[in-house]
Amino acid sequence: MGCIKRLLPGSMFNLLTCLLLAFEALAEGAVLTGTDEEAQLPFWEWRDEVMSVRLVQRLPDQTRAFFTARGFDKSQAELIAQSCIFQTVYKNIATTSNPAVIEYDLTQWKVIYKGEARSLKIKEVWREEWEKAKVPQPAQIAFFWAILPTQQRYEPQDYNWGMTSYNLPPGAKFDLEMVWRQDGVYRTGFVRNLECAPDEEIDPKIPLS
Amino acid sequence: MRDLSLFIACLMLLMPVPAVYADKSQPLHSVTGTPIAPDFSLQDTEGKRHALQDYRGKVVIVNFWATWCPPCRYELPSMERAYQRLKDAGVEMLAINVGEDADTIFTFTADYPVTFPLLMDRDSKVINDYPVMGLPTTYVIDNKGRLVYRAIGTREWDDAALVQKILDLKK
């Protein structure tokens, strides 16, 4: 750093210091936000050099349509649609030359809403409800596999897409505390100010994934 | 100006290359303990029954998928390209659809044509017998019937190194 300082005027040195600090923060995990190119909906993404978790809003209308098409009745599809669903892409982005193993358990994650910590609504909890309601088997199977696995272990380049549900009303804002193990060591990351999609009707002319 | 060039050069050296762009490898991960693959007998979309034990002595790629699963759709074309390279070497590929019926799969294949068998696990019994947590998941079974490799999520199945790794199982 000293040699760089001698080469650069003071303001440039300060700029370089800022940039280095920014990269250090990225190594600890950065949160990116924007519009998901494919879904054309807002996303929040936690990322470091080993793991990325992208949460993309799902509109309640999308969720209603998806589950109605797979055998859920209107009230059941409505219940899912009103539960704050995010499409979640969870990846191990470590390289094979510098590998790392990621393990997570969604029951350890916390949803912080209005100052209170709650749990995600995991697929096993949903399954109990669907069994009680005698939801047709094909619909239950589609639901079970469409939801992000509750536990998973990812080696480099492994990933899943799946829905996560937060049991919050449309438009609710919350923070998410994520817990995982990287090569056996527990780590924690936060995504703040996530926002459940509002319940608005979709223009039928706009194609949705 | 020279100082500025040096500054930019230093900055470029310090910039980490994001892992996602740096690594284009298509890894197959070893399965711990290489357990024997659970047997199954399932119908394909044309009504033909396939039992895993019928393929004993061959290397078999078993992929679990569904039509509504976006990453499953992404990898089907590269699976077909890989199959065209592997089938003459005696490697089999079986794609097991989870929970859907023949009509749904048939309609889907208009957009995603493949020539390997598409089997139907209508009641999800077979996927539950395998160590699968999410879709897509793919296992490579060696010629002794053991689960040797696993991939969670998509791969470019026609990647040369990946194809070679599968062909090496025949040695």
B133 and A16 within 8 Å at the Cβ level: the answer is no
Angle at A140 between CA A135 and CA A142, to 5 degrees: 140
pLDDT tens-digit series, residues A162-173: 999 999 999 999
Answer yes or no: is pLDDT of A122 > 50. Answer: yes
Kindly state the average pLDDT of the residues B122-146: 98
More confident residue, B23 or B92: B92
Answer yes or no: is pLDDT of A50 > 50. Answer: yes
- For residues B55 and A43, give the distance between their C-alpha atoms in angstroms, rounded to a whole number: 44
pLDDT tens-digit series, residues B48-79: 999 999 999 999 999 999 999 999 999 999 99
Shortest CA distance to A77 belongs to which of A141, A40, A41, A130?
A: A130
Is residue B130, in this structure, part of any structural domain at all?
yes
Residues in B whose CB is inside 8 Å of some CB of A read 3, 6-7, 10-11, 14-16, 18-20, 22-23, 25-27, 29, 66, 68-71, 98-101, 122-124, 127, 133-135, 151-155
- For residues A149 and A107, give the distance between their C-alpha atoms in angstroms, rounded to a whole number: 11
**Site from A66, A124, A157 to mutate, B interface, most B CB atoms within 10 angstroms:** A157
B20 and A93 within 8 Å at the Cβ level: the answer is yes
| pLDDT value, residue B147 | 98
Answer yes or no: is pLDDT of B4 > 90. Answer: no
Answer yes or no: is pLDDT of A53 > 90. Answer: yes
| pLDDT value, residue A90 | 98
**Site from B98, B152, B154, B156 to mutate, A interface, most A CB atoms within 10 angstroms:** B152
Is residue B17, in this structure, part of any structural domain at all?
no
Q: Which chain B residue lies closest to A12 (C-alpha atoms)?
A: B7
- For residues B92 and B43, give the distance between their C-alpha atoms in angstroms, rounded to a whole number: 16
| pLDDT value, residue A96 | 87
Tokens 């396939």, residue?
A: B50
ipTM, two decimals, is 0.86
Is residue B119, in this structure, part of any structural domain at all?
yes
The CATH number covering residue B161 comes to: 3.40.30.10
The structure tokens listed for B22 are 């740096």
Answer yes or no: is pLDDT of A9 > 60. Answer: no
pLDDT tens-digit series, residues B90-99: 999 999 999 9
The structure tokens listed for B150 are 């696993």
- Do B96 and B119 contact (CB within 8 A), yes or no? yes
A158 and B153 within 8 Å at the Cβ level: the answer is yes
| pLDDT value, residue A2 | 41
Is residue B9, in this structure, part of any structural domain at all?
no
Q: Which domain holds residue B35?
A: 26-170
Count of helices and strands (H, E) across chain A: 6, 11
Domain extent listing, chain A: 6-195
pLDDT band at B20 (very low <50, low <70, confident <90, very high): very low
Q: Which of B17-21, B47-51, B82-86, B145-149 has the lowest mean pLDDT?
A: B17-21
Shortest CA distance to A70 belongs to which of A124, A126, A145?
A: A145
| pLDDT value, residue A201 | 63
- For residues A147 and A165, give the distance between their C-alpha atoms in angstroms, rounded to a whole number: 8
Kindly state the average pLDDT of the residues A139-153: 98
pLDDT band at A28 (very low <50, low <70, confident <90, very high): confident
Kindly state the average pLDDT of the residues A13-38: 66
pLDDT band at B6 (very low <50, low <70, confident <90, very high): low
| pLDDT value, residue A208 | 53
pLDDT tens-digit series, residues B139-162: 999 999 999 999 999 999 999 999
pLDDT band at A24 (very low <50, low <70, confident <90, very high): very low
By the 10 Å C-beta count (0-12 exposed, 13-18 middle, 19+ buried), A117 is classed as exposed
DSSP string, A174-204: EEEEEEEEETTEEEEEEEEEEEPPP--PPPT
Residues sharing a CB contact under 8 Å with residue B162, sequence separation 6 or more, in sequence order: B26, B28, B82, B155, B156
| pLDDT value, residue B18 | 45
Interface contact A48, partner B, CB < 8 A? no
| pLDDT value, residue B25 | 87
Is residue B3, in this structure, part of any structural domain at all?
no
Q: Which chain A residue lies closest to B71 (C-alpha atoms)?
A: A161
- Do A156 and A96 contact (CB within 8 A), yes or no? yes
Residues of B in contact with A155 (CB under 8 A): 27, 29, 152
Is residue B37, in this structure, part of any structural domain at all?
yes
Please give the backbone phi and psi of residue B76, each rounded to the nearest 5 degrees, phi first. -60, -45
Angle of the A74-81 helix axis to the A60-68 helix axis, nearest 10:
140
In single-letter form, the type of residue at position B110 comes to: A
pLDDT band at A205 (very low <50, low <70, confident <90, very high): low
Number of structural domains in chain B: 1
A145 and B152 within 8 Å at the Cβ level: the answer is no
| pLDDT value, residue B171 | 81
Residues of B in contact with A19 (CB under 8 A): 11, 14
Answer yes or no: is pLDDT of A118 > 70. Answer: yes
A66 and B124 within 8 Å at the Cβ level: the answer is no
pLDDT band at A21 (very low <50, low <70, confident <90, very high): very low
Residues sharing a CB contact under 8 Å with residue A21, sequence separation 6 or more, in sequence order: none
Is residue B153, in this structure, part of any structural domain at all?
yes
The structure tokens listed for B89 are 């070497």
**Site from A161, A182, A209 to mutate, B interface, most B CB atoms within 10 angstroms:** A161
Answer yes or no: is pLDDT of B22 > 90. Answer: no
| Strand locations in B15-154 (E) | 29-30, 41-43, 49-51, 60-65, 92-98, 118-121, 137-141, 147-152
Residues sharing a CB contact under 8 Å with residue B125, sequence separation 6 or more, in sequence order: none
